[in-house]
Amino acid sequence: MSKPQPARYRTTNWSAYNDALRKRGSLLIWLDKGMAWHARREGRPGRPPVFSDAAIQ
């Protein structure tokens, strides 16, 4: 049994595509140097969380 071919998508209306990209908006990222990025150790068994809750928000 062979794998199905992946679907190919082609943009046919470039002006509408470019307009849609412009209307997406921008992403603003704020970085706080004083924030604790890595989560503290909890002392419980299991994989510890990597990032703190403040970094995820």
Going from the C-alpha of 27 to that of each of 17, 24, 30, 31, 37, the distances in angstroms are: 19, 9, 10, 13, 20
Whether the pLDDT of residue 10 is over 90: the answer is: no
Q: Write the pLDDT tens digit of every residue in 11-30.
A: 899 999 888 888 887 777 77
pLDDT band at residue 33 under the 50/70/90 scheme: confident
Residue pair 32/12 in contact (Cβ under 8 Å)? The answer is: no
